[in-house]
Amino acid sequence: MPADAVVIGAGPNGLVAANMLADRGWDVVVCEEQPEPGGAVRSGAVTEPGFVHDLYSAFYPLTPASRYIAPLELERHGLRWRRAPAAVAHPHPDGRCAVLSTDLEETCASLDSFAPGDGDAWRRLFELWQRAGPHLFGALLRPLPPIRPAAGLIRALGPRGVADFGRFSLLSARRLAEESFRGEGGGWIITGNALHADLTPDSAGGGLFGWVLCCLGQQFGFPVAEGGAGSITEALVRRFRGLGGEVICDTPIERIELRAGRARSAVAADGSRFEARRAILADCGAPALYLKMLPRDAVSERERRQLRRFQYDNSTFKVNWALGAPIPWRSEDARGAGTVHVADGMEGLTRATVHLAGGSIPDRPFLVLGQYSEADPSRAPAGAEAAWAYTHVPQQARHDAAGELSGDWAGADRERFADRMEAEVERLAPGFRQLILSRHIQTPLDLEASNRNLVGGAINGGTAQLYQQTIFRPITGLGRPSTPVPGLYLASASAHPGGGLHGGPGGNAASTAIKRDRLRRMLRANWSGDRL
Ligand SMILES: Cc1cc2nc3c(=O)[nH]c(=O)nc-3n(C[C@H](O)[C@H](O)[C@H](O)COP(=O)(O)OP(=O)(O)OC[C@H]3O[C@@H](n4cnc5c(N)ncnc54)[C@H](O)[C@@H]3O)c2cc1C
């Protein structure tokens, strides 16, 4: 029996889309290649008994602000959010520590400790967010062009304010910090957040990216899911199944078949065929969808050329640790943060990204580290700690800045690079290594093997650099989820607005599919109906 819609991939974007379609009464089937749903939102017991580790994404400042995820009310389907008192801390070996607390006064006091007046500078930046943020975020999380949010932004800031905001949006993280703060702490926090994506301290637009994450952190904290990231997926699946939806795992889709020029069925590796009456939504990497899964003649040469130059973000190397006790940060302030940036201030952030840009494995990798004892003690036995850290390495390593490794992640480099990451934590938290009960490593190869969208260990479905955002994502066009094939929509992080748990690509794909279907039904009597 054909379904109304087939969703390929049960990552968060696929599941958000599936829920939205099911809410409209569509009969939806989700086909997932892996044995379990969730994509990069899964957790597991991979170290010692009693420890739960988030295997990919872990903290979710983008989620509470999402116009697609918030209305799903996942809390009514078993999800509980937890927050540490501080969203992010950036400790320095000299003992200073910048903190983005969920309490505005505490954030300001932390930045004032770097230079008096920096607290007020942060207050002004956060006040700008309170006026502009909802419109900006609204603009990102809807199909382009975002007419209503743009009008809201003009109303909120005035025409001259919008022009200033345009300039502000293009600043690098370093320049934004230089223009805003006298001391170093504000720059560490904003730049460290910009570097969660594959941006550098000097990337145009990196300031906006870092500022958005910091302001979301100020407003909502960096929430984590009680019991593990997998409980977000469980809530999405539970809700969807409650609406009659079906999730079928162990089902890799290899081809999309067209009839009369329209996407009609998704064909699995074993030949099973999943037919769709109304739409197929693909939570797949854009190059895989366009260049491998569609018939060659369905994609023009221009589109193929652009897809061949599609740039994935840097690779990622992740370590999960079972620790006998919380991390003994030298700086007390780092102990209350859910997320810790490990780098020697702006210099350390710059050094790691310069190495990456030159194709080198950083000798002093910048780590994004997560710890749970403050936010969610259920992740580890009493008194213990479940922690993780990831860092970026080049997609194709040409050298190692320390002259030791070759990027052979299947061989000895796997353990040696994990040792290098641990040495970085140890410098800020002497005694850390002695607490390690066991560790679990995820190399770029492991990441891709567990989810084909994480190409080469890329975590954002494609670079976050400006030249591959909005109307340039995934190819130059209108930045919409539509594809060259009627009835087929791109619903993954390869589509605008990119990576992170906000459901933007899935939500945009579902809302576009619903609108197109409505129009098509209205035009059914007309020959053009099937072209939508
Ligand atoms: C290590 C890591 C850390 C991250 N940290 C954070 C974080 O802390 N906060 C945050 O907000 N975001 C984070 N992210 C990013 C976030 O997880 C992703 O942007 C998000 O998961 C993208 O969702 P998606 O649905 O587009 O794709 P994915 O989550 O990658 O899911 C895609 C799914 O589709 C399936 N699939 C693909 N092709 C096929 C096919 N042909 N047939 C069948 N199934 C298929 C895959 O198996 C997978 O299950 C992180 C990602 C990683 C990898």
122: number of Cβ within 10 Å: 25
| CA–CA gap between residue 170 and residue 444 (Å, rounded) | 31
Q: Distance from the CA of 9 to the center of ligand 1, in angstroms?
A: 9
The H-or-E segment that residue 5 falls in is strand 3-8
Q: Before 71, cis peptide (omega within 30)?
A: no
pLDDT at 140 (0 to 100):
82
**Ranges of the chain whose pLDDT falls below 50:** none
What are the tens digits of pLDDT across the range 364-416?
999 999 999 889 999 999 999 999 999 999 999 999 999 999 999 999 999 99
Under 8 Å between Cβ of 10 and 39:
yes
Longest dimension (CA), the chain: 73
CA of 336 from ligand 1 middle (Å) equals 28
Q: What is the pLDDT at residue 378?
A: 95
pTM for the whole structure: 0.96
pLDDT of residue 532: 60
Ligand 1 atom at shortest distance from the alpha carbon of 37 = 49
The Cα 359–Cα 457 span in angstroms is 15
φ/ψ of 103, rounded to 5, equals -100, 120
* Contact predicate 286/492, CB 8 Å: yes
pLDDT for residue 278:
97
Closest-CA residue, ligand 1 atom 45, reads 9
Atom of ligand 1 nearest to the CA of 505: 26
Which token pair is 191?
């730049």
- In this prediction, residue 145 carries a pLDDT of 82
The reply to whether ligand 1 has any atom less than 6 angstroms from the CB of 339 is no
pLDDT in tens, 489-509: 999 999 999 999 999 999 999
Q: How far apart are the first and last CA of the chain?
A: 23
39 lines ligand 1 (CB under 6 A): yes
Instruction: Answer whether 56 contacts ligand 1 (Cβ < 6 A).
Output: yes
Give the HSE-up count for residue 274: Cα atoms under 13 Å, Cβ half-sphere: 30
- Judge whether 38 and 501 are in contact, CB under 8 Å: no
User: Cβ contacts of residue 78 below 8 Å, gap of 6+?
Assistant: 231, 234, 235, 238
Centre of ligand 1 to C-alpha 130, Å, is 29
Q: Phi/psi of residue 484, each to 5°? A: -65, -15
What pLDDT is stored for residue 526 in this prediction?
Answer: 66
Protein residue closest via CA to atom 11 of ligand 1: 500
